[in-house]
Amino acid sequence: MNRDYPLEKVRNFGIIAHIDAGKTTTSERVLFYTGMTHKIGEVHDGDTVTDWMEQERERGITITSAAITCFWLPTYRRAQIHADTNADRPGLEQRYKYRFNIIDTPGHIDFTVEVKRSLRVLDGAVVVFDGVAGVEPQSETNWRYADEGNVPRLCFINKLDRMGASFEKSYQSILERLSRNAIRMQIPIGLEENFSGVIDLLEMKAYEFTGEKGIDVVAKEIPPEFVEEAKKYRHELVEKIVEQDDALTHEYLEGKNIPVETLKATLRKAVIANKIFPVFTGSALKNKGVQLVLDAVVDYLPSPLDLPPTRGVHPKTGETIVRHVTDEEHFSALVFKLQTDPFVGQLAFFRVYSGTVEAGSYIYNSSTGNRERLSRIVRLQADKREEVKKVFAGEIAAAVGLKEAKTSHTLCDEQNPIVFEAIKFADPVISLCIEPKTKADQEKMGYALKRLSDEDPTFKIKSDQETGETVIMGMGELQLEIMVDRLKREFSVEANVGKPQVAYRETIQGEAEAEAKYIRQTGGRGQYGHVRLSVRPMQPLDSEAKVKKNVKRYDHFEFINSIKGGVIPQEFIPAVEKGVKEGLERGVVAGFQLVDISAELTFGSYHEVDSSEIAFKIAGSQAVQDACKRARPVILEPIMKVEVVTPEKFLGDVTGHLASKRGEVQNVGERGMNKVVDAKVPLSEMFGYITTLRSMSEGRASFTMEFDHYEAVPPQVAQGIIEARK
């Protein structure tokens, strides 16, 4: 079986945005214009293709990322083919079509994991902005994720038909809050109810969208009243492009006319290098502008061949290995998402970085060291599946039958193993207790929770050792609410849930040392373990620094082995480390997990007969707990970045109320007729805030929030937390 589309005609990209900016509405137009659907689904009608979960359709939001494959013939090619009366139209259309592998991602902060893991495997992104609100909090978070992954981006300022829409204000917010390298590719013709089309600054043409659902893209002369404005902004655009090439700059300064094709080729290189972020505009709901964004995906976003080869390490030697995007290379792929399918079981979404893989073959999971049989391979159209026999380099598909594969695992050829860098996820900030209603539910609940936590790495489960309760943890109240709902609908598990609780942590602010001896004598062979540990706050590792050989660094603590002269035999050191890890799981102030601690093993002793791993493990746990008690321990609480949009008449009430919640107002700006308040507020103060805000503002204010950082709790608040824990 051969590849059906050449790699240079493949585009793997995501559609990302803040909640309610119009991602799913844009995705539905993409499916319609590419011929994958014959009816446009609308979010408000609950009949969209990409929002296929019941919970998504009920709430009108995206919860899980949906993968779709479609094919696009650029509008300028379509015009050329239709203008040629002698052309073999079907043959030429097939020749000039591009394959799009698209992932529509959620915009709600509770499901930000979907954006992060999707961007890890995608080659480009279309970032959608609300034409009224411009850059919003989740826009910044998504942009940061894309920066971390060096993902090339196009911007699409949507909803220009809305009252209060402003292309210029939204564009300025991108320049001020995201990147100075954004540049207008288009300007709108009219705004709000007068919005009728767009002007392409590179081609200097006006475009209108006619026919059923705006399917016909009609090029016209620029209306006279917009000519001067278009010339001004084209001059800015051309200057920005020629800056990227010395020879072009020279020609431009000499007054030469640079062909549009040359400008496009130079712009493409700059976009792929993340030096320019082109900005397009339109209204997906009113079917204006989306086709030109798809043309821009073809023109400016990279194919898998345009990106540098992928790097990984050998699982045993640790040496760096490079894999190129070719079918002839050894097979390698990264699992980036798991999804439970009611018909085929667990699906493991993977991106192939090199080589090919066939259904029915055995693959090697280098993250676990085990072989597994890949029984079937499917391509996804949201919740529908298309079975394929073989997947090639640069493609995205889903595997059926992999029992051990988890998010971030690397799949590869066993004779040529490689491990790709794992995707890092944020820790949960909120928790609640859950218990099954019946004994039958109890047996099913453990299995169901494990499947859900496999799907979403930010959804964690733990058992409270003191109370025996099962605790589920996540990024926000909505995420936990959805998970409990899925337990009931997908796994038929009825459960009682407690009130949401804040995921507090503990850390230390000073340094201390402690010694612990674990000695037991019981007639026969005894137990003996003796360690001395010092603890201090863990310092962040800058990009230049490397972890030393005697240091083991984890997400929330590091263990330093400074034993000299064999006072503790080498075989007992891992046991001490394990004891330290277990000792940090239960805090010394109120029992919350201890984090950001550097523990150094400096001294100890052993007994030739009585020493054992268990004795050193217990001694390590006791020593680290004792040392942390003396190192000025404090409780940490999650601080949220909160944005409140309110009419000006309620501004004083809103800021005063935030201050009463221990909030710190960072900035007050304007958005249309409303005021925007940016603040940092402890999560513990934000439960039920929406109800208070609505009553305070006659239902006219709204807010969004996302996790920002952890901060030490004030002493008077800490005392209340300790009492509550008792």
Sheet holding 332-341, edge to edge: 370-373, 362-365, 410-412, 332-341, 345-354, 396-400, 376-381, 384-388
The Cα–Cα gap between 241 and 270 comes to: 8
Contacts of 343 (CB under 8 A, 6+ apart): none
What's the DSSP call for residue 579?
Answer: H
Binding site for GTP: what residues are annotated?
17-24, 104-108, 158-161
The helix or strand, by DSSP H or E, that contains position 189, with its residue range, turns out to be strand 186-189
DSSP 309-377: PEEEE-TTT--EEEE-S-TTSPPEEEEEEEEEETTTEEEEEEEEEES-EETT-EEEETTTTEEEE--EE
Q: Hey, what are 381's tokens? A: 């159209």
Give the helix, strand, coil percentages of the chain, each rounded to 5. Answer: 35, 30, 35
User: Residue 369 is encoded by which pair of tokens?
Assistant: 């060291």
**Nearest alpha carbon to residue 171 among 145, 201, 214:** 201
- Which residues belong to the annotated binding site? 17-24, 104-108, 158-161
Spatial contact of 533 and 627, defined as CB atoms under 8 Å apart: yes
Asked whether 387 and 376 are in contact (CB, 8 A), the reply is: yes
- List, in sequence order, every residue forming a beta bridge with 219; answer none if it has no partner: 207
End-to-end Cα spacing for the chain: 65
Contacts of 370 (CB under 8 A, 6+ apart): 364, 404
Q: Mention every residue, 6+ apart, whose C-beta is less than 8 A from residue 23.
A: 15, 16, 17, 62, 104, 105, 107, 128
448-453 contacts: CB < 8 A, separation 24 or more?
Answer: 448/487, 448/490, 448/491, 448/493, 449/487, 451/340, 451/346, 451/491, 452/340, 452/483, 452/486, 452/487
- Helical spans, DSSP H, in 403-493: 439-455, 477-491
Helix (H) or strand (E) holding 707: strand 702-712
Q: Which H, E and C letters describe 115-128, residue by residue? A: HHHHHHHCCEEEEE
Q: Which residues contact 564 (CB under 8 A, 6 or more apart)?
A: none
Distance separating alpha carbons of residues 81 and 95, to the nearest angstrom: 11
Are 40 and 46 spatial neighbours (Cβ–Cβ below 8 Å)?
no
Helix (H, G, I), strand (E, B) or coil at 99: strand
